[in-house]
Chains A and B, each alone.
Chain A
Amino acid sequence: MTQVTGYIGRSVKRKEDARLLRGEGRYLDDLNHLKPKQVAFWRSPYAHARIKAVRTAEARELPGVIAVFTGEDFAPVKPLVTEIQLEGYVAKPQDPVARDKASHAGEIVAVVVAEDRYIAEDALELIEVDFEPLPAVVDVDAALAEGSSLVHTEVPGNIYYRGRRVFGEVEAAFAKAELVFRETFRTSRIAGTPLEARGCLAEYDPYQDVLTVWSSTQIPSILHLKLAEIFGMHENGIRIIAPDMGGGFGIKAQIYPEEIIIPFLARALRLPVKWVQDRREDLLTGVHARDHRYELEAAVTREGVLTALRLRMLTDAGAFSSFPFGCTLEATGGARMILGPYKIRNYEYDTIAVATNKAPAGAYRGVAQPSCFFAIEGLMDIIAGKLGLDPAEIRRRNMLSSAELPYTNPIGIHFDSGSYGESLEKALQSARYAEVRGEQSRIPADAGRQIGIGLACYTEISGISSKGYQSRGVADVPGYDSVRMRMDPSGTVAIYTTLTSQGQGHWTTFAQIAATELGIEPDQVRVVDGDTGLAPLGTGTFASRASITGGGAVFRAAREIKRILLRVAGGMLDDLPPEELELGEGFVRARGRKLKVTLREAARKAYEIRSGGSETREIPGLEVIAYYDPPPSNWSNAVHLAVVELNLVTGFPRFLDYVVVSDCGNLINPMIVDGQIQGGAAQGIGEALLEALEYDPGGQLLTASWGDYLIPTALDVPEMKIEHITTPCPSTEGGVKGMGEGGAIGALPAVVNAVNDALRRSRCWTGVPITRAPVKPEDILRRVGAVGAEGGDGR
């Protein structure tokens, strides 16, 4: 049951909605108060080509064009280097504008600044570039093949990163294994493609020597520090503002060349300069994700217990190691998370991030967790099928029980709390599992429709701390977050936070925390996010962290303000010590006595230096800065259960039921948590059934619009039954665990497992499970022989 304390645990309506739902949000595209000049980019049409000459004279002469820049003009700018302190990683500096060669289709080769975007794009057509095309490497096998063309000469063998580790007695376990299972799982390259694409606006004030950058970014603090370093400026001369955002999903948690170019232009031209990304640019150059292959080998007992697991993982990193997480993000993520809630004691991985001539890969909701759980959960079902076990039963036999917690898994991940088995049983109950199994078995094997049930049990890493990022070698992500909090003389509160909001509802949840701690109403709390000129420095909103790190900082700041306030109030109430006072409903009251002052009076007093306020404290005012660096990492857990009906004539699946049981510790706002789950699961369903960025053999993206890159619409997403188990985190402020990515993690394995489960019921089933996402209708028909086998891609 959800724990309610004050406003925490209540589905308070979102403070931001009145504005956002009326269309009154202020997104980057809406920021025109500076009347900025507009930018368009000349992007490489080649996936791999040497740049011989860039001719811009004609473009410069077009009326309305202010300036045209090429790679050479950016020589003074320090290239972006993604530092990852892991053995086996190769760093390759990236220039904001390509100079010698283009390494993926869409890489920027020239930049036009004009009075408006129309003119800027007209000018693009007048730029001529002489290229010498080079062989494009567009898949990991070709990239790793001997004698392959190199994406960068600095990256030998096209291997950006290779990590190999053995934990426990893997070889011995396989030597005495009763059964060995081998299976390969693949996920397709996909895009987070937020409804609002990226964009950047910059203004340089030479009088104050201040560069202000508005960017649709999830990491203003990280951008702030990096721009100072790249431009050789003092950090105090930079301000980054992330305005309202229409989604981010991790895509905006990278620093992109445009975020260096636009501020550079504003400084160089001393003009406000703006660029708003269009959808084609988003799909072509926004970080991609999940181009993964998992080759699994499992040692299994006849009872279905996994005694050892070997993983060879390949991720297609694209042309550059994106900043700040690096191309190691997915490779280490998949290899580290795959053991999930299972007590597999012997484990070995060999994980490789491969350079190719595609857009860089990076962070997208769930990172490698959707794919690694797709692999392990798919394998569980395959083993269960072979051993004649129910999919729920094989999971029970391998899963950690609550009695076994806390538990440290073989790679050193510490699970301090969770409800793996309880979540599974609750999901089965909620979906009437036994009944649906019965219903399923009553459908004849030769029927044109079959029902399938798919399970996904997973853990979700959240709120990664400074130590957590250090352990994965990520040098430029601090890991802590912070807030500056001020209680005004009138008793209202402002919170300036290092977190951004791209849909999370922090205006509401942070206000709920502060209001609860300070005994006021959430409406009396204003949350200002994403502005490094107002907030301290910190990390940003991604990887399911804000409720832990931002929420934790709010808890701490509010307690500190409360402490000061009680001391001041004590001075007004017979000099009572704080422990004899309590705060609530807008008053400070003396415990067990009738004495009280209003919170407003106490707050005002705190600002009165001469009349007593200062006597109880050296510094006047009620303003504090609080940091929160959580315990190394915090794990929530959940189970998704999908029931689908397959139409074996058309190959289309239809959802009959969808259940999520989530345990993310204490909930701050259950409505917002449910929304996160629903949205995440929608994206996971897209990944399972629709989404794929397709490249042709020459490295051209074939899916550069939403007409060809298919994301799920409301019609493709079922209603979900969402339930919660609350196992408070023993180590975080407020007992919360992060869960923002979970929906996206569970849906992919649950949906594909459901499809496979339905296929197994058909008499026409070829006996080969689907191990590749997305599952197209014809992939389903191929598995019942209605469409012939085609190609050698394992579909």
Chain B
Amino acid sequence: MKSAPFEYLVPASLAEALETLAGHQDETKVLAGGQSLVPLLKLRLARPRYLLDINRVPELSYLELKDGRLHLGALTRHSALGREPSARGSCPLLAEAAARIGHTAIRNRGTVGGSLCHADPAAELPAAMIALGAELKIDGPGGTRLVPAAGFFQGFMTVDLQPDEILAGLSVPVAGPGTGWSYLEVSRRHGDFAIAGVAVWLSLDDKGLFRQVGIALAGVDDRPWKARACEDFLVGKEAKEEVIAAAREQLAGFDPTGDIHASREYRELMAGELFVQALRQAVERAANNL
């Protein structure tokens, strides 16, 4: 298990990275934390001619609260989401989701940007970002464009990113009064890919009605799956058990695949169970937060 030959490029700035990328385009893979790419290289499933290591690009490493949102550079490590007080305090959903990613060593190396661009349908952060309504900042030769997370994931491990572009970072809303959240997941062992996962980010108004609801599922479709119908159903309704149960009835349209770890039927069942449990937990937290 040794990778095929490649040329290793280490840009020192975002401009240099983009320039290099523009020159080599399709023959280049961007290396961030390497937790998915390196195994693919070792198995020779990925065999780029150039490997562009962005770990030393300073513009991609930031974590700050600004204008009521949490801004994260693409190189933010998973472990930082739970460790950094500003991230954990302002966006606890990310900390909760990140805790389910792999193991400590993986969380210390793996990056937020890498997880989103790799776009494994069972990964935690893509679903969490959709639930949060994250806004992705993509840099390319034409400048910067902003893409909502829900539009970024286009198919099985396919994202809205051109070969000459780099995901530079993203921003997510921060918790305020009435905010509730939950990330729940079923996997064979802790750290394995989700059989099913549910991310919820919502807020209640002072009457106990759903003001805003974001829900996304992991592991049950060819991409992280936004439960749009359920979100629409819930907004404006009272946050109570019967409504949650009714929302579950609206949960349909995703298309899980069975494999050696879980059948399609089991994934569907778990998606529904976790949906209810995650909504309950998020509502409870929101109520405590009012």
Contact = CB atoms under 8 A, between A and B. Distances in A.
A778 B266 contact: yes
A488 interface: no
A781 B186 CA distance: 14
Interface in B170-198: 186, 188-193
A698 to B, nearest CB: 15
A779 B37 CA distance: 34
A710 B190 CA distance: 11
Contact of A278 (B1, B190, B261): B1
B273 interface: yes
20 contacts: A117-B2, A121-B1, A121-B44, A122-B4, A122-B5, A125-B4, A279-B1, A650-B186, A652-B186, A703-B260, A707-B192, A708-B260, A710-B189, A710-B192, A712-B189, A713-B189, A713-B191, A781-B266, A781-B269, A787-B263
Interface in A767-788: 776-778, 781, 786-788
Interface size range on A against B: 20 to 34
Interface string B226-268: 0000000000000000000000000000000000111101100
A650 B265 contact: no
Nearest to B264: A790
B189 A690 contact: yes
A470 B263 CA distance: 47
A651 B186 CA distance: 10
Interface in A690-706: 690, 692, 694, 702-703
A181 interface: no
Given A649-B273, A776-B262, 20 more contacts: A118-B5, A121-B1, A121-B2, A121-B44, A122-B4, A125-B44, A278-B1, A650-B186, A652-B186, A694-B260, A703-B260, A707-B193, A710-B261, A713-B191, A715-B189, A716-B189, A776-B261, A777-B266, A787-B263, A787-B265
Contacts of A790: 263, 265
A280 B1 contact: yes
Given A649-B273, A703-B260, A710 B188 contact: yes
Interface string A76-117: 000000000000000000000000000000000000000001
Nearest to B266: A778
Contacts of A787: 263, 265-266, 269
B270 interface: yes
Interface of A: 117-118, 121-122, 125, 278-280, 649-652, 690, 692, 694, 702-703, 707-708, 710, 712-713, 715-716, 776-778, 781, 786-788, 790
Contacts of B262: 776-778
B265 A788 contact: yes
Interface string B1-37: 1111100000000000000000000000000000000
B198 to A, nearest CB: 13
Interface in B141-196: 186, 188-193
A713 B3 CA distance: 28
A130 B263 CA distance: 37
Given A650-B273, A715-B189, A778 B263 contact: yes
B121 to A, nearest CB: 15
Contacts of A690: 188-189
A650 B270 contact: yes
Contacts of A280: 1, 43
A122 B44 CA distance: 10
Nearest to A694: B260
Interface in B33-67: 43-44
A313 B44 CA distance: 41
Nearest to B270: A650
A65 B35 CA distance: 31
Question: What are the nearest 3 A-B pairs in CB distance?
Answer: A778-B266, A278-B1, A118-B2
A708 B191 CA distance: 12
A433 to B, nearest CB: 29
B236 to A, nearest CB: 29
Nearest to A790: B263
B274 to A, nearest CB: 9
A658 B269 CA distance: 30
Nearest to B42: A278
Contacts of A649: 273
B277 to A, nearest CB: 9
Contacts of A125: 4, 44
